[in-house]
Copies of this chain bind each other. A is one copy, B any other.
């Protein structure tokens, strides 16, 4: 699939999901999605904002952020790094893996023999010198599952106000 084809496929999905969710397709949103979908470098919000100023001199950084999170909610993009914003420290220097809760930021260690045995994949060499391999399971911890009001379906849009985590889901 060429780069152009990839972009088109992604755009189709964008339109379809946006319509399904009743999301307005504004020029800003379209431009933001196009930029992310057409890039291979996983730009951050500032970078996107800088680039979009060419076509939208007045676009605000806030719009970029809001749009990106909205797209993430629709499953059209994902945020790399994680929602948690505080640095966390780990004194376990043996090989192990982490479980991370998307809602509250909880992190717990576990050890899985198969995952611990994984070597650095050869594909990594093309980008530089690889040093280690991190494996992380993301999900929702037991406590957060319990907190969720019973009878709630999908699309939990409650946004915790004060928490060490910055974004939901």
Contact = CB atoms under 8 A, between A and B. Distances in A.
Interface of A: 10, 33, 36-37, 39-46, 48, 68, 71-72, 75-82, 84, 86-91, 93, 97-99, 101-102, 106-112, 114-115, 118, 120-124, 126-145, 164
A114 B43 CA distance: 27
A95 to B, nearest CB: 12
Contacts of A135: 133-136
A77 B101 contact: no
Nearest to A34: B91
Given A10-B91, A45-B87, A141 B164 contact: no
A99 B135 CA distance: 12
Where chain A touches its partner, the secondary structure class is: mixed
A44 B127 contact: no
A69 B30 CA distance: 41
A40 B71 CA distance: 34
B128 A138 contact: no
A65 B108 CA distance: 21
A76 B132 CA distance: 16
Given A128-B140, A135-B133, A90 B99 contact: no
A121 B114 contact: yes
Kindly list the 5 A-B residue pairs having the minimum CB-CB distance in the complex, ordered from nearest.
A44-B86, A128-B141, A130-B139, A112-B121, A37-B91
Contacts of A37: 91
A101 to B, nearest CB: 6
Residue among A36, A72, A89, A138 with max Cβ neighbours from chain B (10 Å) = A89
